[in-house]
Amino acid sequence: MSGLGVWNYVIIIFLMMIGLYMVMSCSSLVKKLIGLNVFQTSVFFLYISFGYVDGGAGPLLIEGVTLYSNPLPHVLILTAIVVGVATTAVGLALSIRIKESFGTIEEDDLHKMDSSI
Amino acid sequence: MLMHLPVLIILAPLLGAPLAALMRGSNWPWLLATLICWFSLLCSILLLMQVNSQGEVIYIMGGWEAPWGIEYRLDFANALLLVLITGLASVVLPYARLSVEQEVGEERSPLFYAALLLLILGLCGITATGDAFNVFVFLEVSSLATYTLIAMGRDRRALTASFTYLIMGTIGATFYLIGVGFLYVMTGTLNMADLAERLPAISDSSTVRTAFAFIVTGICLKLALFPLHLWLPNAYTYSPSAVTAFLAATATKVAVYVLIRFVFTIFGVDFSFGMEPLAEVLIPLSVIGILSASTVSVTQPNIKRMLAYSSVAQIGYIVLGLAMGTAMGLTAALLHMFNHGLMKGALFMVMGAVAYRMGGTEIYDMKGLAKTMPLTFWAFVLGGLSLIGVPLTVGFVSKWHLILAALELGWWPIVIVILAGSMLAVLYIGRVIEAGFFGQPADTTRREAPMGMLVPLWILVIANIWFGIDTRLTVDIAVAAAAQLMAGGVAL
């Protein structure tokens, strides 16, 4: 852990807050999705940092290497990335449909048209 | 075959979904989905019987032993929930054919049934699995299917409702993911039984406490606990009728189950209620939820939205039961989880039938329903009585147990809140019944809902009465499940 220290965690928290702030404050639905992606990516970084072992090699059987990084969090994050891509795809598809039927993707305007959000 | 029951429940819809998507027309995918649900129901009933004789069923996925591989672990609590999910799916799907044909259209029907099968797969997966990360994956499978299904509603507001749910649901699931990550760092395992074994030794660390906070908040977003319920009313109001009936009956219940699993099995009662202020946070929120959501329901002109707000209130009852942290409270929570699935399923199916014939679910569409659609109307009356908690219905059984649990702790104000909630239910159900009885319909010709909708609907209504009179099955299982969960869940 000393190779990276706590700095990567500081950056992760920073990214997490940027993402959440974007989701809450941006009016455009696409920008909300971008914020959601930043938020999710920060969690991916969190898991990858968990698995990192200082000086550890990749988890391959190579002669002379005894210290390995933990591959499990990395594998978990591969799954989570796939889930994130699927969520983004559904979100963007919804934005297109909203644009088609409302003519706008600005949340404020949608709010005025139908008090439903 | 019997050995592989836990995985068959997951595999059948998983293989059925792409097949349904490849079919054309609306009848074949519907038939396939219905048969798969009936098969899953059979499997889950057999599983419940297995759990009843063995106490616990463990299935090792792919032959990889538990801490490394993924295991499915079934006890009374999740076996009962599996029966509820597959049972409701088996009732809602036969009902869905006509309603989906009208609301979604023949062209998109194959995709609709594919998404519905994926939703059932996700919910069953969350319930059956014994691995914390696996829960996240299935949670997202079911959520993605839900977003798609909600967006298929006729009203264009279904799209914005779906989008709002997508944002809030993803944040909830990601919070859960962060919490699970912290637990993994502290214990080096993702297996629930393993976590439960290793956590007590390190429970005083701030990482574990943070993990607990993230997981509880994330799941509360998914189960729509007040004040995190904002996505729910629109999502239930604008999605297709069959989807609302199935979602309202099962989706939030599965999230409640995950909360119960984490609070009681993984973290344990001592940690959740002793070291963390879980009861102090959840009880006020659920009380406010019961009172405010019930009050809001009274004034809703759209009956689907009224029932959606009532769902938020009912979630309040369930969370109230589990937040008591006693075996009695947990029994009441599990009972209400099952019973609320039955009554909300029936009520939303009535609204689907009304929407099918009258074209809307506003209160003026319900006017004179006793004359135009008598069988549908009486189903609403019986379902409504069950929601209020009148004796001889399931609603009474679970509210009775909830009141007993509150009395055991000597919490008089809570008893008053439960009774006040029921009184508000009398108001909001009453005004619909009044409109149905005394309202003058614009067109007085009798146009009962078709048999394809009435039969499944009445099966569910009769279940409401049946389990209200013959309480042996549900109460015994709920008591056994609560005892298992209170004992730490790892009944080895």
Closest CA to B151 of B141, B142, B161, B143: B161
Residue B479: φ, ψ to 5°: -65, -45
Chain B residues closer than 8 Å to A115 by CB:
none
Chain B residues closer than 8 Å to A95 by CB:
163
pLDDT (tens digit, 9 = 90+) per residue, A70-104?
Answer: 888 888 899 999 999 999 999 999 999 999 988 88
**What contacts 24+ positions apart, CB below 8 Å, involve B16-22?**
B16/B117, B17/B114, B17/B115, B17/B117, B17/B118, B17/B121, B18/B114, B20/B110, B20/B113, B20/B114, B20/B117, B21/B110, B21/B111, B21/B114, B22/B110
Check CB contact of A91 with chain B, cutoff 8 Å.
yes
Residue B204: φ, ψ to 5°: -85, 0
Q: Give yes or no for residue B255 having a pLDDT over 90.
A: yes
Chain A residues closer than 8 Å to B144 by CB:
86-87, 90
The structure tokens 């419940």 sit at B48
Do B137 and A79 count as a contact with CB atoms less than 8 A apart? Answer: yes
Do B166 and A40 count as a contact with CB atoms less than 8 A apart? Answer: no
Q: Report the run of H or E that residue B97 belongs to, with start and end.
A: helix B76-103
From B138, which residue of chain A is nearest by alpha-carbon distance?
A83
Task: Identify the pLDDT of residue B446.
Answer: 77
Single pTM value for the model: 0.92
Closest CA to B318 of B259, B393, B265: B259
Do B163 and A73 count as a contact with CB atoms less than 8 A apart? Answer: no
Instruction: Tell me the one-letter amino acid at B59.
Output: Y
Residues 6+ apart with CB under 8 A from B258: B126, B135, B139, B219, B222
pLDDT (tens digit, 9 = 90+) per residue, B19-28?
Answer: 999 988 888 9
From A74, which residue of chain B is nearest by alpha-carbon distance?
B181
Q: Is A56 exposed, middle or buried (0-12, 13-18, 19+ CB in 10 A)?
A: middle
Check CB contact of A89 with chain B, cutoff 8 Å.
no
DSSP E strand stretches across B122-184: none
- Tally Cβ neighbours within 10 Å of residue B473: 12
Check CB contact of A80 with chain B, cutoff 8 Å.
yes
Do B159 and A36 count as a contact with CB atoms less than 8 A apart? Answer: no
Residues 6+ apart with CB under 8 A from A23: A32, A35, A36, A39, B167, B171
Task: Identify the pLDDT of residue B106.
Answer: 83
pLDDT (tens digit, 9 = 90+) per residue, A25-74?
Answer: 988 999 999 999 999 999 999 998 888 877 777 777 778 777 888 888 88
Q: Look at A62-71, B239-248, B256-265, B371-380 and tell me which has the smallest mean pLDDT.
A: A62-71
CA atoms within 13 A on the CB side of A67: 6
Do A87 and B174 count as a contact with CB atoms less than 8 A apart? Answer: no
Chain A residues closer than 8 Å to B161 by CB:
116
CB B468 within 8 A of CB B393: yes
Instruction: Tell me the one-letter amino acid at B362.
Output: E
Q: Look at B61-70, B320-329, B388-397 and tell me which has the smallest mean pLDDT.
A: B61-70
Task: Identify the pLDDT of residue B492.
Answer: 36
Q: Helix, strand, coil proportions of chain A in percent (round to 5)?
A: 70, 5, 25
- Tally Cβ neighbours within 10 Å of residue B141: 20
Closest CA to B330 of B410, B256, B420: B256
* Better-scored residue on pLDDT, A46 or A4: A46
Residue range B235-247: average pLDDT?
Answer: 92
Instruction: Tell me the one-letter amino acid at B39.
Output: F
Tokens describing residue B417: 């809140």
Task: Identify the pLDDT of residue B445.
Answer: 78
Give Rg (Cα) of chain A.
Answer: 19
Chain mean pLDDT for chain B: 89
The SS3 call for residue B251 is helix
Query: Confidence band (pLDDT; 50, 70, 90) for A3?
Result: low
CATH class of A7-113: mainly alpha
Residue range B457-475: average pLDDT?
Answer: 88
Do B163 and A79 count as a contact with CB atoms less than 8 A apart? Answer: no
CB B78 within 8 A of CB B135: no
The SS3 call for residue B408 is helix
From A75, which residue of chain B is nearest by alpha-carbon distance?
B133
Distance from CA of B42 to the nearest CA of A (A): 31
Q: Give yes or no for residue A1 having a pLDDT over 60.
A: no
Distance from CA of B74 to the nearest CA of A (A): 24
Closest CA to B51 of B123, B1, B2: B2
Question: How many angstroms separate the first and last alpha carbons of chain A?
Answer: 44
Query: Confidence band (pLDDT; 50, 70, 90) for A115?
Result: low
DSSP E strand stretches across B134-243: none
DSSP state of B49: H
Check CB contact of A41 with chain B, cutoff 8 Å.
no
Q: Where are the alpha helices (DSSP H) in B439-471?
A: 451-469
Which among B144, B147, B156 has the least Cβ separation from residue A101? B156
Q: Give yes or no for residue B198 having a pLDDT over 90.
A: no
Task: Identify the pLDDT of residue B488.
Answer: 65
Residues 6+ apart with CB under 8 A from B448: B357, B373, B374, B375, B376, B454
Question: How many angstroms separate the first and last alpha carbons of chain B?
Answer: 24
Task: Identify the pLDDT of residue B226.
Answer: 84
Q: Distance (Å, rounded) from C-alpha B304 to C-alpha A40?
A: 33
- Tally Cβ neighbours within 10 Å of residue A8: 16
Q: Look at A20-29, A55-64, B139-148, B250-259 and tell me which has the smallest mean pLDDT.
A: A55-64
Residue of A50, A76, A79 to mutate, interface with B, max B Cβ within 10 Å:
A76
- Tally Cβ neighbours within 10 Å of residue A64: 5
Do A114 and B156 count as a contact with CB atoms less than 8 A apart? Answer: yes
Do B181 and A50 count as a contact with CB atoms less than 8 A apart? Answer: yes
Residue B440: φ, ψ to 5°: -100, 115
DSSP E strand stretches across B155-278: none
Do A94 and B140 count as a contact with CB atoms less than 8 A apart? Answer: no
Task: Identify the pLDDT of residue B114.
Answer: 93
Tokens describing residue B469: 């009179």
* Better-scored residue on pLDDT, B287 or B67: B287
pLDDT (tens digit, 9 = 90+) per residue, B88-127?
Answer: 999 999 999 888 888 888 888 999 999 999 999 999 999 9
- Most distant CA pair in chain A, distance: 67
- Tally Cβ neighbours within 10 Å of residue B226: 22
Do B171 and A23 count as a contact with CB atoms less than 8 A apart? Answer: yes
Residue range B209-215: average pLDDT?
Answer: 92
Chain B positions touching chain A (beta carbons under 8 Å): 133, 136-137, 140, 144, 147-148, 151, 156-157, 159-164, 166-167, 170-171, 174, 177-178, 181, 184-185, 234, 238
Residue range B369-386: average pLDDT?
Answer: 89
From A114, which residue of chain B is nearest by alpha-carbon distance?
B157
Task: Identify the pLDDT of residue B92.
Answer: 92
Do A90 and B157 count as a contact with CB atoms less than 8 A apart? Answer: no
Which among A46, A83, A86 has the least Cβ separation from residue B178? A46
Q: Give yes or no for residue A16 having a pLDDT over 90.
A: yes
From A95, which residue of chain B is nearest by alpha-carbon distance?
B163
Q: Give yes or no for residue B278 having a pLDDT over 50.
A: yes
Check CB contact of A48 with chain B, cutoff 8 Å.
no
Tell me the ipTM for this assembly.
0.92
Query: Confidence band (pLDDT; 50, 70, 90) for B487?
Result: confident
Do B184 and A97 count as a contact with CB atoms less than 8 A apart? Answer: no
Chain B residues closer than 8 Å to A23 by CB:
167, 171
Interface contacts (A, B; CB < 8 Å): 75
Task: Identify the pLDDT of residue B200.
Answer: 84
Domain boundaries defined on chain B: 286-492
Domain boundaries defined on chain A: 7-113
- Most distant CA pair in chain B, distance: 70
CB B347 within 8 A of CB B381: no
Q: Give yes or no for residue A116 having a pLDDT over 60.
A: no
Q: Distance (Å, rounded) from C-alpha B299 to C-alpha B303?
A: 10
Dihedral class, residue B295 (left if φ above 0, else alpha if ψ from -120 to 50, else beta): alpha
Task: Identify the pLDDT of residue B236.
Answer: 92
Query: Confidence band (pLDDT; 50, 70, 90) for B311?
Result: very high
